[in-house]
Structure 1
Amino acid sequence: DGDELSIFPDQTEFISRLDTAGRRGLTNVPGTTIEIHPGSIDVTHPMPVEEIESIFTDKRTYLRNYQADWADWLRDLKAGWNPPTTDLLTTLQEWWGPLLEMAPTLCAQVGANVLIRTGELEVLIDFPNGEVRAHAGEPFAFSFDIPRELVETVAAERAVDWSNSLLLSCRFTAWREGEYNEYVYNFFKSLSRERMRRAEAEVVRKLTPADELEGVVEPDIQIGDYVVQRRCPHRNADLEAFGEIDDCEFVCTLHGWRFDLETGRCLTASDLPLRIKHVE
C-alpha cells in the first residue's frame, strides 16, 4: 500500500529525489514515448495521466487488476507443469554429478552443503565432495524450498540456467547460514558442460592475483558472422558462453546487457562500448 519498506522504490520516489536535487524526472511506463529536442522534451503516455498516477497511489487495486488480466494465462501455464516422477533424484545425480566434477574450484568456493527441498524429496548437493544424494540429516549452509512440479519441469527441460528459468519466478523460499555466496548461484546458472566449463574458468580467473593476469591478452572470439572481444565490459563475463546475437543487437545473457551489433555502442549504459566487427 506504499508504506512498506522496500529495496525497490518505485518511480515516484526516484523522481522526488531528482526534484530535490534540482533535476527533472520523467515518468515512463510501457508505451510512453519521449522525444528530445533542443530546448524541450515531449512526453506522450499511452493512457491519461490520472490512470498512470493511480498505478502508484493505489497499488493494491492496480496489482489485483493486473493479476486478473493474467489469471487465465497463469492457469494454463501451471497446467503444463510436470507432475512428480519417481526418478527425480537419479535425474539430478546423473545431470549434476559430472558438472560438479568439472568445477573443483567453484565447489571449493561454495564450500558447504546445499539442500533442495521439493515436495517430500530432499536433495543434498555436497559441494565439498562433489556429490548429489538424498539428504540423510547432514548439516547444510544453504537451502531452497521449491514446489516439486517446478523442479520436475525445469529438470525435464534440462534448463541450463535455473536463475532465469526458475529462481527469478520467486516461487521458492531460501535460507542461508552466514554471508551471501555468489558461487551457489553461479552453479545454478551453469547447468551444462559448456556453461560449467566457463563458470570454472571464471572462478579461477577471479581468484588469480592481478599481477599474474597483468599483460595477459585474451584473443577475440567469433560468434556468428562477428568477431567480438572475449569479455563483456560490464562484469567480465565470458562472451563465448554468454554472448548471443539478437536481431541487430549483441546481448550478454549473464546480466542482459545489450550492444549495437554494428558499432558496439552500449545500449544499457553510455560508457561501456564493446569491440565488435563484422566478418567479411
Structure 2
Amino acid sequence: MQVTSIGHAGFHIQTDAGSILCDPWTNPAYFASWIPFPDNSELDWKTLGDCDYLYVSHLHRDHFDERNLAENINKDATVLLPDYPVPDLKHELERLGFHTFVETQDSVKTTVTGDKGSLDIMIIALRAPADGPIGDSALVVDDGETVAFNMNDARPVDLDVLSEQFGPVDVHMLQYSGAIWYPMVYDIPERTKATFAAQKRQRGMDRARSYIEQVGATWVVPSAGPPMFLDDELFGLNDIGDDPTSIFPDQVKFLDEMKIHGTDDGVKHKGVLMVSGSSFDIHGTELTNLTHPYPPEEVFGENKRGYLERMAEKFAPVIAAEKASWAPAEGEPFLEPLRELFEPIMGQSDLICDGIGYPVALVIGEGSDLKPGDENAETVVLDFPNRIVREPKDGEVKYRYGFRIAPQIVRTVLRDNEPDWVNTIFLSTRFSTWRIGGYNEFLYTFFKCLTDERIAYADGWFAEAHDDSATITKGDWEIQRRCPHLKADLTKFGVIEGEKLTCNLHGWQWDLPSGRCLTTKGHELRSKKID
C-alpha cells in the first residue's frame, strides 16, 4: 500500500486492487476563510482524480470540494458511501455526475471488487445531528497486508469494531486540531478568551491522543489539521510561534505533544509528519520510502510566518474573486426572507425549539460592536418559544444569544438556498456572537438543519430515548457509562477532577454531586458518590 497526503484530511491510497481518493479539498472554503495548509494547489489533481474509488467523508466544505470534484475527479469512480440517515451526500455527488455507489452499512466490513481485485473496507458512520452537517465518518481499508484507518475529523464512540473485524491497525490518520469558531468570535474579555482557547486546544490534543491509544496503530499521521487563514482580517488565527492559546495547532505541534506525553515512544506508536504531496509505502507494520516534495521545515516552526505571508500574497487574487462573488450588501430588508426560511423549520421542530427556549437576535450589519436595535443594522428576532420570526419588541434589547453578521454574508446564503449556516457562516469565523449562560446545542443544530428532511431527522433524534442504564465506577463515583451528549463510552473518554467529570470526546462537563451539565442546559448525568 502507498499512502500520499493530498492536503488537510485528504489522502490517495494506492493498492494492487485499485486507488482510493479521500476528501480531495483544494479550493478555499467557508467564504474564503479556510485554505489548505500546507498549500496543495500545485498537486496534479487530474492524475489524482483518475482514481478507482472515491471517498468523501461528509459534506463539510473542507472535505467536500464541489469545484474540485466537478472539474478533476473521474465520474466513473466508484463512490464509497457512508450509511447516513439523510441522503444529502449522495444527492450532491449525483448532481456532480457520479453514478456508481457502494452503499455501505455502518461499521460493517464490506468487500469491494473491481477490475484490479478486491479490497475489504468499512465506514464508521456517525449519525447524530452534531456530527458534521448531518453525518461524519471514518474509513478503514485492508488490502490483505496493511490495515489503514483514515479517521479524518470523525469522533467515533466505539472503536472495538476495528479489532473485531480487522485485527491490528497499521497506520492511523486523524484530526488533532480545531475546526470551530469558539472562543474567537465571542464577546468575552481577551484574558478569558485566551484561557478558554488554551483549554480547548489542549482538550483537542488530549482527545486525539486518547484515540491513538484506543486504536493502537504502529504509525500515526496527524491530518485534518489547521487551515491557512490568509485574509488580512483573519490572519491572526494562524498558529505562529509558541502560542498556547491558538486552537489551530499544526502537525509539528501535535507530534511534539505525542512525544511529551509518551504517545510517540518510537515503538508502540510512531508519529509521521506529512505535507501535501508526501508519500510512503507501508507493508503491514513496515513503513518505508517516506518522501516529501520539499523539506517540511520550510512551512513549520520559525519559517511558518514567512510561508504564510507568501501564501497570503499568492491567494490574494483568489480571495478577492471569492468576495466579488458574494451577494451585494444592499437590498430588501431581511425580515420577510428570514421569516420565509425559518418559520417552516420552526414549525416542524418542537423539541429543538423548546430546547433553545428563548428568542435569539440576528444583528445584520457591519461591525463587531453592533447592539440589537442599532440604527446602523437590522435586527431580526428568532422567537423560538413562539415559533415565529419578528422584529424586536419595544424595549427588547437584551437577548441570551445573538449573532452579528455582515449583510452580504446573509444575502449570499439566502441567494444560494444554503441548508446549513454552521457549515458556511459560522465556520468562516466572519461573524461575532454573544451568549448568556451555557452553549446551546439545540440552537446550532437548528442552523444545520434548514431543510424539511434534516430538521425532521434531528428533532426525531433528540426525541429518541437512549439507553443509559449501564453503570461504571470511575474514581470515587458510580456514573452512567454513556455520555448524555453523544453516547461516548465514559470508561474511555471520561476524566474526573475533584467533583467534575469531563468527557474528552467533545469537552462537555458535569457536576458529579448533582449530575448537572455544566456545558449546556439539559443532558443530566446519573452519578453517585461511592460511600
CA apart distance, 1:210: 2.8
Deviation sequence 1:97-134 (CA, Å, 0-9, x none):
11101111100111122111111111111111111112
1:67 aligns with 2:306: no
Per-residue deviation, 1:177: 0.9
Q: Which secondary structure does the structure 1 equivalent of 2:258 belong to?
A: helix
Which residue is 1:241 aligned to?
Answer: none
**Counterpart Cα distance in 1 of 2:391 and 2:278:** 51
1:137-176 → structure 2 map (5 Å cutoff): 137-176=396-435
Q: 5+ residue gaps in structure 2?
A: 1-239, 366-376, 470-485, 488-531
Aligned-residue RMSD, C-alpha: 2.1
Matched to 2:388, the amino acid is E
Q: What are the within-5 Å matches in structure 2 for residues 106-125 of structure 1?
A: 106-119=352-365, 120-125=377-382
**8 Å contact kept, 1:114–1:142:** yes
The 3-state SS of whatever aligns with 1:58 is: helix
* Deviation (angstroms), 1:138: 4.6
Residues of 1 paired with 2:286 and 2:455: CA distance? 51
Cα offset for 1:161?
A: 0.8
**Does residue 1:182 correspond to 2:441, yes or no?**
yes
* AA aligned opposite 1:18: M
CA distance in 1, matches of 2:392, 2:279: 54
1:17 to 257, 262, 275: 257
The Cα of 1:13 is off from its aligned counterpart by 2.2
State the shift of 1:185 in Å.
0.7
Name the aligned partner's letter for residue 148 of structure 1.
Answer: P
1:162-203 deviation digits (Å, cap 9, x = unpaired): 111221111111211111111111011011111111121112
Matching residue of 2:384:
127
Percent identity over paired residues: 34
Match for 1:4: what amino acid?
Answer: D
Partner Cα distance (2:296, 2:420) in 1:
39
Alpha carbons of structure 1 residues 195 and 209: separation in structure 2 relative to 1, 3 Å: closer
Decide which of 331, 336, 344 is 1:98's aligned counterpart.
344
Q: Which amino acid aligns with 2:324?
A: A
The one-character-per-residue Cα deviations of 1:227-249 (angstroms, maximum 9, x if unpaired) are: xxxxxxxx69xxxxxxxxxxxxx
> 1:144 aligns to what SS in structure 2?
strand
Identify the residue that residue 56 of structure 1 maps to in structure 2.
Answer: 301
Q: Offset at 1:142?
A: 1.0
Alpha-carbon displacement from aligned partner over 1:11-52 (angstroms, at most 9, x marks no partner): 22221233342133211111111222354433111113442x
- Structure 2: distance between partners of 1:102 and 1:90: 19
Distance, in Å, in 2 between the alignment partners of 1:150 and 1:10 is 29
1:43 is aligned to: 290
Distance in 1 (alpha carbons) for counterparts of 2:251 and 2:466 = 41
Residue matched to 1:77: 322
TM-score after normalising by structure 2: 0.38
Distance 1:67 1:102 in 2: 44
Separation (CA, whole Å) in 2 of partners of 1:12 and 1:49:
10
| Equivalent residue runs for 1:159-238 within 5 Å | 159-205=418-464, 208=465, 210=467
CA–CA distance in 1 between the matches of 2:254 and 2:296?
18
User: Partner of 1:43: helix, strand, or coil?
Assistant: strand
* TM-score, normalising length: structure 1: 0.69
Q: Stretches of 4+ moved more than 6 A in 1?
A: none
Aligned to 1:7: 247
Question: Residue 8 of structure 1: CA displacement?
Answer: 3.0
Q: 1:55 to 1:45 in 2, by over 3 A?
A: same
Contact 1:126 1:132 in 2 (8 A): yes
Cα gap change, 1:131 to 1:29, in 2 (>3 Å):
same
What SS class does the counterpart of residue 102 from structure 1 fall into?
coil
CA apart distance, 1:209: 5.2
Q: Matched residue pairs, number?
A: 210
More strand by share: 2
Q: Which residue of 2 aligns with 1:87?
A: 333
- Mapped partners of 2:468, 2:258: distance in 1: 42
Question: Is the contact made by 1:113 and 1:139 (CA closer than 8 Å) also made in structure 2?
Answer: no
| 2:422 maps to amino acid | S
Q: Is 2:277 aligned against 1:31?
A: yes
